């Protein structure tokens, strides 16, 4: 039911097949109120090409039960695409209980024709360890009851709801229990309080903990994650679908979404957007409209931003530039930036990302600063260089400056070495340094990603200790006893060269600087 088409980091473009059709991931599923739709689901489908939405089976059960069974959930909300239904867990989080059993709501979701369904879980929220443990045990008990009912036959794709909140040990326990059960996909609950409190680091740790446990061949849904500023991070960490009602809830509060955060309509002088709302109205005109009309239009703008961000994420995956999108988006908020840095410092997560990141991509990489060096492609390439056996075996290597040097080719470097050090001419190996990877053997210069990596001198200086150490490790690891460095005229790069020279001499390696 899930086919992967393209991937980058843990993000993937895929197709989920349901009984009502197929939709592409990553996908944002707008929450549709089955009783009152500010923006009709049919219009969302028509305007944004939306193929899947989510609605609340418990509300239908309580208020439209007969109609739901007779007409089916698709007709109740007037949507002919894929419909995912939640079971009432949100109501349980808000009100403490719901008037339905796990078997009843599971049977009801099948009866109304849900394409993707969720057992009656017990959301954890921001609570103590004891309360969180209780929510996990109740969720697992409910899941067991649900499976008893589904053993009689099912048509929908069913989610394994993972609870535990920010208590990672409980989250891992819940996920490990669910892995052995016959579910079609997984769903991570309780992120909303963390997002509302800007506790992004905890949220990222939750996703990472779950992703390390669940099978990679099954999709992961993230409940309540509908803000565009978080979408690329959720996708990069392995979330395939996510839902939210925030487009409407924010609009009710006069909040205007953008990919970099949320703005107050009352404080806007200009709209930084060209959607059908922003191109027609000024902020002042929108503020002057009646409440219902203003909320509707603001909801429409918020939806537009969400769907646009999903398209940008998909293109970044196709181009192999998802990490670069994260680096740009991370600067949207200090706490998001801190969470991004913490994500890159999670070695197990980076190793997992490395396994799922293609070795070659259709576009080159842009590396900005020392944070960029933590991305999986860089660590993998450095590792492959350490294991590489150079084409020419020698105890001397000539290092040519990749940027800022007078000699840009091996031929030019050979002429200089022959003039200055004739005793090593014709015997030495050649490689390029002053780059993010350390030393690149001359024969690999045009192999991906070496000549396809864009960086500046500022990166080398920002990460000079790191890059110098990688350079030295390569030389020591390949057994070179003599290093000839072709110096540069750039003062900053000269400083870098002297740092490499010093580190090599500390290792007992002879260094000649020409």
Positions annotated as catalytic residues are 86
State the SS3 of 42-65.
Answer: HHHHHHHCCCEEEEEHHHHHHHCH
Nearest to 242 by CA among 263, 228, 253, 252: 228
Token pair belonging to 443: 């024969």
Which H or E run includes 429?
Answer: strand 429-433
**Residue recorded with tokens 């001198």:** 457
Distance in angstroms (rounded) separating the CA atoms of residues 142 and 139: 5
What is the SS3 assignment for 139-173? HHHHHHHHHHHHCCCCCCEEEEEECCCCCHHHHHH
Tokens 């750039």 belong to 490
The torsion defined by the Cα of 245, 223, 1 and 21, in degrees rounded to 10, comes to -10
User: How does 433-455 read in b/e, with b if 16+ C-beta sit within 10 Å?
Assistant: bbbbbbbbbbebbeebbbeebeb
- The H-or-E segment that residue 326 falls in is helix 322-329
Q: Which structure tokens are listed for 11?
A: 């993000």
Cα gap 418→42, rounded to integer Å: 75
Q: Distance (Å, rounded) from C-alpha 198 to C-alpha 219?
A: 26
DSSP of 433-486: ESSTTS-EEGGGTTSTTTTTEE--HHHHHHTHHHHHHHHHHHHHHTT-SEEEE-
Cα–Cα dist 311/126, whole Å: 32
Distances (CA, A) of 271 to 256, 328, 445: 9, 21, 46
The CA distance from 237 to 326, in Å, is 11
């Amino acid at each position: 039911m899930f086919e992967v088409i393209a991937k980058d980091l843990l993000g993937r473009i895929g197709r989920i097949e349901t009984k009502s059709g197929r939709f592409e991931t990553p996908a944002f599923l707008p929450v549709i109120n089955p009783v009152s739709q500010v923006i009709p689901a049919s219009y969302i489908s028509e305007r944004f090409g939306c193929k899947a939405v989510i609605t609340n089976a418990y509300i239908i059960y309580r208020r439209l039960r007969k109609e739901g069974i007779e007409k089916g959930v698709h007709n109740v909300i007037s949507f002919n695409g894929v419909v995912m239904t939640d079971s009432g867990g949100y109501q349980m989080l808000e009100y403490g209980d719901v008037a339905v059993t796990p078997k009843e709501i599971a049977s009801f979701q099948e009866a109304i024709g849900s394409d993707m369904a969720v057992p009656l879980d017990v959301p954890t929220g921001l609570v103590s360890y004891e309360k969180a443990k209780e929510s996990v045990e109740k969720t697992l008990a409910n899941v067991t009851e649900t499976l008893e009912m589904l053993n009689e036959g099912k048509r929908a794709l069913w989610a394994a709801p993972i609870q535990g909140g920010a208590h990672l040990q409980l989250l891992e326990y819940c996920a490990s229990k669910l892995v052995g059960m016959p579910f079609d996909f997984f769903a991570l609950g309780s992120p909303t309080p963390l997002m509302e409190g800007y506790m992004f680091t905890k949220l990222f740790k939750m996703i990472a903990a779950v992703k390390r446990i669940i099978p990679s061949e099954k999709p992961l849904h993230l409940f309540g994650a509908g803000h565009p500023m978080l979408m690329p991070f959720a996708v990069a960490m392995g979330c395939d679908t996510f839902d939210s009602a925030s487009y409407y809830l924010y609009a009710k509060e006069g909040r205007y979404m953008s990919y970099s955060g949320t703005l107050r309509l009352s404080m806007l002088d200009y709209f930084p957007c060209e959607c059908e709302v922003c191109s027609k109205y000024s902020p002042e005109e929108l503020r002057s409209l009646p409440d219902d009309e203003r909320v509707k239009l603001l909801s429409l703008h918020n939806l537009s931003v969400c769907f646009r961000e999903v398209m940008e994420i998909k293109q970044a995956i196709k181009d192999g530039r998802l990490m670069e999108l994260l680096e740009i988006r991370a600067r949207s908020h200090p706490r998001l930036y801190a969470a991004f840095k913490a994500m890159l410092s999670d070695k197990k997560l980076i190793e997992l990302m490395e396994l799922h990141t293609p070795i070659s991509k259709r576009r080159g990489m842009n590396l900005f600063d020392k944070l960029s060096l933590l991305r999986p492609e860089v660590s993998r390439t450095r590792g492959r260089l350490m294991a590489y056996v150079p084409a020419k075996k020698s105890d001397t290597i000539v290092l040519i400056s990749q940027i800022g040097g007078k000699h840009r080719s091996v031929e030019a470097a050979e002429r200089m070495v022959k003039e200055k050090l004739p005793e090593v001419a014709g015997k030495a190996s050649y490689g390029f340094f002053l780059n993010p990877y350390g030393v690149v053997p001359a024969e690999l210069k045009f192999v991906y990603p070496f000549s396809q990596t864009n960086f500046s001198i500022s990166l080398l200086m920002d990460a000079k200790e790191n890059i110098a150490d990688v350079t030295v490790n390569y030389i020591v690891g390949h057994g070179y006893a003599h290093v000839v460095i072709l110096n540069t005229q750039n003062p900053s790069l000269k400083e870098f060269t002297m740092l490499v020279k010093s580190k090599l001499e500390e290792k007992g390696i002879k260094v000649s600087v020409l």
